[in-house]
Amino acid sequence: MARGHNFSLAQKAEKSWIAGPVPQAGIILTVVNPTKRNPYAEAKIYLGTSAFTAAGWPGAFYPPEIKSKDYLSYYAQHFDTVEVNSTLYGCPTPRTVENWAAKTPDNFIFSIKTPRSITHDKILVNCDAELEEFLTTMEILGPKLGPILFQFPQFSPGVFADRQAFTDRLIPFLKKLPAGRKYAIEIRNPEWLDAEFAHHLRQHQIALGLPDLPYMPRPDELVQKFDPITADWTYIRWLGDRKGIELQTLTWDKTILDRTAELISWVDFCYQIKRRGILIYGYANNHYAGHGPATIRQFRDLWRKKGFGPLPEPAPAPVPITPIQAPPKKQPSLFD
């Protein structure tokens, strides 16, 4: 059993800095009238995919004539954000990050995974050099740098005896993070998710990552125990069953799993927290249903069918217009 205080939202409605009182457990998904004017209705939802290319995307998402060096620019015409997955395996070069920034419009947002050397290998210990290199490199993105995700693996009892042992290491690390940026923590030990853990993140204005995985509770289950919103924004990842879907395909060009029921639940959840003024970042992995872009399209369709109003989408890139050259002026002549 985890040490520490037993926080229960049924016993304590914790006042948060995010949007007034934290709701009691179980009320986030209350049905509301979507046509009723709400002062928080303008809270934005950023929707994108995990990575901007994969096997099967050329021809399915990217037109055949698009060269790979232009993929990101084309992607940014259809989505206003992307979760960069490659940084999990190492810090990119400054030149690479400069190219990301150069190929995207001013309002584009990059969500970045922290290298696994920090989260998986050293597990927050003796990793100051790696963290400084990574954060310094990401600052090249400037205002395009969005959430920074610390994605932890599922830990065995041999690594951490319980959640308290993990938070004993996590909290001092959080205090070292530079201010002024958005950070999210994703854990994959479902038994560690409780009101006390959420309280720790809320104290440091860190978002609790909400992954849709077969062994992790979804929001409609979480809200029965505690409020999973721990900042004025939240981070959602539609990940799915990687091993299961890879038995069916390794080419990510189309939807092969019906995720309608799950996405309806997520649409309802997102609408409710949007009404609280919560900024939402949501990313679809190919492993969720077979094709990340199609998952985002389905989310948008379900949102619209619920009558929740249109979600903003990036405007198509304008077609460049070649200016018409005026005929050269006739030079005066000695004979005129």
Q: 326 pLDDT exceeds 90?
A: no
Residue in the block written with tokens 């970042």 = 281
Q: Is residue 7 in some structural domain?
A: no
Q: Is residue 23 in some structural domain?
A: no
Q: For the segment 230-244, what is each residue's pLDDT rounded down to a tens digit?
A: 999 999 999 999 999
Residues 6 or more apart in contact with residue 72 via CB below 8 angstroms? 52, 82, 100, 103, 104
* From 28-37, 188-197, 204-213, 263-272, the region with the lowest mean pLDDT: 28-37
Q: 336 pLDDT exceeds 90?
A: no
Structure tokens at 310: 């249109």
Cα distance between residue 248 and residue 122, in whole Å: 34
Over range 309-330, report the average pLDDT.
56
Q: Is residue 55 in some structural domain?
A: yes
Of 67, 140, 143, the closest CA to residue 105 belongs to 143
The domain tally of the chain equals 1
Q: Is 5 exposed, middle or buried (0-12, 13-18, 19+ CB in 10 A)?
A: exposed
Q: 291 pLDDT exceeds 50?
A: yes
**Which pTM value belongs to this model?**
0.85
Q: Is residue 219 in some structural domain?
A: yes
Q: Output the pLDDT for position 310.
A: 85
- Cite the DSSP H helix spans in 123-237: 128-138, 163-174, 195-203, 219-222
Confidence tier at 166 by pLDDT (50, 70, 90): very high
Structure tokens at 27: 């009320």
Cα distance between residue 12 and residue 15, in whole Å: 9
Host domain of residue 129: 45-305
Question: What's the mean per-residue pLDDT of the chain?
Answer: 86
Confidence tier at 11 by pLDDT (50, 70, 90): very low
Q: Is residue 6 in some structural domain?
A: no
Q: 324 pLDDT exceeds 80?
A: no
Q: 335 pLDDT exceeds 50?
A: no
Please state whether 217 falls in left (phi above 0), alpha (psi between -120 and 50) or beta: beta
C-alpha angle with apex 71: 66 to 72, nearest 5 degrees?
150
Q: Is residue 254 in some structural domain?
A: yes
Q: For the segment 13-22, what is each residue's pLDDT rounded down to a tens digit?
A: 333 333 334 4
Over range 276-292, report the average pLDDT.
98
Cα distance between residue 87 and residue 91, in whole Å: 6
First vs last C-alpha separation in the chain: 102
Please state whether 240 falls in left (phi above 0), alpha (psi between -120 and 50) or beta: left
Q: Is residue 39 in some structural domain?
A: no
Q: Is residue 260 in some structural domain?
A: yes
Looking at residue 221, its amino acid is E
Q: 290 pLDDT exceeds 50?
A: yes
Over range 67-89, report the average pLDDT.
97
CATH code for the domain of 113: 3.20.20.410
Over range 176-180, report the average pLDDT.
95
